[in-house]
Structure 1
Amino acid sequence: MQDRPLILGIHGLANKPPKEEKQAWWAAAIREGLRRNLGADRPELPFEFVYWADLRYDAPLSEDRNREPYYPVRGSGPFPSADGACAPTLTDRLYRVVEWMQEKTGRLVLDDFIIEHRLDDLWGYYEDRAFREAARDRLREALEQHAGRPLLIAAHSMGSLIAYDVLRRLERDGRCPRIEHLVTMGAPLGLAEIKHHLAEEHGGLRVPDAVARWSNLGDREDVATVGTTLAESYAPNAAGVGVTDCPVINGYRRPRGGVNPHKSYGYLRTPEFSRAVAAFLDGQGAVAPIEMAGVEDA
């Protein structure tokens, strides 16, 4: 069984439903995307989940308080794809000006506000060392458990930060496993303050050496993805592997109305993610690019 491919998911910000429920919903969203986008039925999806919300929250999110559950979308046919290159939006351009000013003054005022008030768990991740190390341990233990298996890591939101930290740390310790494909979704890794923290701990920003392919999926309306593209900020690794920034459309809608372009289920159902999963499961994960009509690598 150790040679079978495995998708390893790790969730992002905020409290979550119980682990078993959250894991089942991620798997259902991935299968829904494969079925709708590619006509591929994968009832026995090789998927496991890294859950860390219990390290920060006293009790899981209850059903009556969960405004954004997973549910299958009505209709048939593929979910929409982004059209065009991964060009910076007006928000990105404005943020880059602010980032330049923050660098000049040495004060990351905007980033502090975004992280503390919009991405609160990121603030806790850097302020609470015990929580930070415990969250990293969850992923480290999963990687050790599945050592030798072909792995695709699907990391959403803050999960992408945890994944990057763990892979760079294991690399430094000389015991990092090979990751066939790292897929980050709604990653805050372009924020100036996050990049500062990463550089302080790991040195130069680059693709971890263990990663054979890194695809970064981002909806341009997702506030967590504001700033530079990851290909601009993270250099290729020693093997020449760089980041491919993939614009996507996260179509998640709350059951009672309203959109959330940061929601994990929306990312997991995108055609771009479905193609990455299918290529990986078919043994092409390290070599097959995510095909996107009209989209150029950044």
Structure 2
Amino acid sequence: MRPRVVYVHGNGNKVRSELLKSQWDRALFGSDMADFSRMAYWAPVRYDTPLPDFRLGPLDGGPAEIEETVASVEFEPPEEFVARTLAEARFEAGGIGPESTPGVGEQKDALVDWLSEMTALADTLAEMEDAGPADRHPLEALPLPATPRKAVFRLLVKHTFKDVHAYFFGGAGKTIRGVVQETLEGLDDAPLAVVGHSLGSIVAYEVLAEQGREVELFTTVGSPLAITEVQDHLAKPPAVPAGVRAWRNASDLRDLVALDHTLRPEYAPPERVTDLLVTNDSHNHHGIAEYLGNPKVREPFQRIFSDVARGQTGCKHDK
């Protein structure tokens, strides 16, 4: 039986399903994978019509072939985002400045300092990747301070990640999970890989945790699953889904959606989880094409799907 890969997209409206799947295929494999891949396309649950072809969602970055579109999209620098979101927090609390809400100024300073440190670490990581492959990086992402992390996460959900709010609190979760479940139907006997981006990583995780189906490789990119405030709302306590043989979690240190970058300490058994610090040079460090195109993300897929990608009729996983 030939392997299959199922994609689960993240926040925001998307281009039509067939084009989105092809974009992910080309980013991950370098070519369209035809019926060897499927897109769990849940955007219609939240949006009446898809984006125009090659129009970027605000969180998606964009593939290299549409650079002119990428360049036209304005992304807010992380430091400016921090300042704006904390200003909104002060306004909603009835304050008019940092002095009126104790600790807000310190929260902003802590976040800006943290973002600067993450940028420096990410630059160092990029230099190491350019120098050649390494089995292990000596870098460890420092956790974002708890108080500002909670403040920013809540504002992210309320004002920016409205699909996350709809998923957890707006009654859309069951329907979105149903799209993923339907996409997985009929693949019970095929060696399976699953990729989840952003909110899609949460949806994929919850479906796999519920089903317990066998998955050779579960890959999450730009995932917020390490954030305590997300874990608090999962249907089951954090753990590697029973059927998942290997879980690879990749994030850029500057990715504000990920915030926390290590799943391994919270999701047992830890030996099945690999946390990867990678560079994502999209404007917001969260773009899906840049994540899927990273060699550390691509390598296990290209190995599993090597025969399929070469256009052969079978592969090493055939029964």
Q: 1:226-241, aligned counterparts within 5 Å?
A: 226-227=259-260, 229-236=262-269, 241=271
Alignment correspondent of 2:231 = 195
Q: Per the alignment, in what secondary structure is the counterpart of residue 257 of structure 2?
A: helix
- The question of whether the paired residues in 2 share the 8 Å contact of 1:6 and 1:149 is answered with yes
2:182 maps to 1:138: no
Q: Alignment partner for residue 28 of structure 1, among 23, 26, 29?
A: 26
Cα deviation digits, residues 195-233 of structure 1 (max 9, x gap)? 1012xx213x11011100000011111111112511122
Report sequence identity in percent.
27
Alignment correspondent of 2:161 = 119
Specify whether residues 251 and 45 from structure 1 end up closer, same or farther in structure 2 by C-alpha distance, changes over 3 A only.
farther
Specify whether residues 50 and 44 from structure 1 end up closer, same or farther in structure 2 by C-alpha distance, changes over 3 A only.
closer
- The question of whether the paired residues in 1 share the 8 Å contact of 2:223 and 2:257 is answered with yes
Counterpart amino acid of residue 210 in structure 1: G
Q: Per the alignment, in what secondary structure is the counterpart of residue 64 of structure 2?
A: coil
Cα deviation digits, residues 234-283 of structure 1 (max 9, x gap)? 121xxx7431101111133xxxxxx1310111111000111021222257
For structure 2, the residue ranges without an aligned partner over 5 or more in a row are 68-128, 307-314
Alignment correspondent of 1:276 = 300
Counterpart amino acid of residue 292 in structure 2: L
Alignment correspondent of 1:291 = none
Counterpart amino acid of residue 170 in structure 2: D
- The question of whether the paired residues in 1 share the 8 Å contact of 2:8 and 2:195 is answered with yes
Structure 1 residue 136, shift from structure 2 partner: 0.4
RMSD across aligned C-alpha pairs, in angstroms? 2.7
- TM-score, length-normalised on structure 1? 0.73
Q: Which has the higher helix share?
A: 2
Counterpart amino acid of residue 155 in structure 1: G
Q: Per the alignment, in what secondary structure is the counterpart of residue 23 of structure 1?
A: helix
- TM-score, length-normalised on structure 2? 0.68
Counterpart amino acid of residue 272 in structure 1: K
Counterpart amino acid of residue 202 in structure 1: K
Counterpart amino acid of residue 179 in structure 2: R
Structure 1 residue 117, shift from structure 2 partner: 2.3
Cα deviation digits, residues 63-87 of structure 1 (max 9, x gap)? 485375433499xxxx958973451
Structure 1 residue 19, shift from structure 2 partner: 0.9
Rounded to whole Å, the distance in 1 between the matches of 2:28 and 2:255 is: 20
Alignment correspondent of 1:105 = none
Counterpart amino acid of residue 251 in structure 1: D
Specify whether residues 65 and 21 from structure 1 end up closer, same or farther in structure 2 by C-alpha distance, changes over 3 A only.
closer
Q: 1:1-298, aligned counterparts within 5 Å?
A: 3-32=1-30, 46-63=36-53, 66=56, 68-72=61-65, 84-89=137-142, 93-96=143-146, 98=148, 108-129=150-171, 131-170=172-211, 176-198=212-234, 201-203=235-237, 205-227=238-260, 229-236=262-269, 241-252=271-282, 259-282=283-306
Count of aligned pairs: 242
Counterpart amino acid of residue 52 in structure 2: S
Structure 1 residue 166, shift from structure 2 partner: 0.6
Specify whether residues 226 and 82 from structure 1 end up closer, same or farther in structure 2 by C-alpha distance, changes over 3 A only.
farther
Counterpart amino acid of residue 264 in structure 1: I
- The question of whether the paired residues in 2 share the 8 Å contact of 1:234 and 1:242 is answered with no
Rounded to whole Å, the distance in 2 between the matches of 1:82 and 1:94 is: 28
- The question of whether the paired residues in 2 share the 8 Å contact of 1:148 and 1:177 is answered with no
Rounded to whole Å, the distance in 2 between the matches of 1:228 and 1:186 is: 9
For structure 1, the residue ranges without an aligned partner over 5 or more in a row are 33-40, 100-107, 171-175, 253-258, 286-298
Structure of greater Rg? 2
- The question of whether the paired residues in 1 share the 8 Å contact of 2:261 and 2:275 is answered with no
Specify whether residues 66 and 278 from structure 1 end up closer, same or farther in structure 2 by C-alpha distance, changes over 3 A only.
closer
Counterpart amino acid of residue 161 in structure 2: L
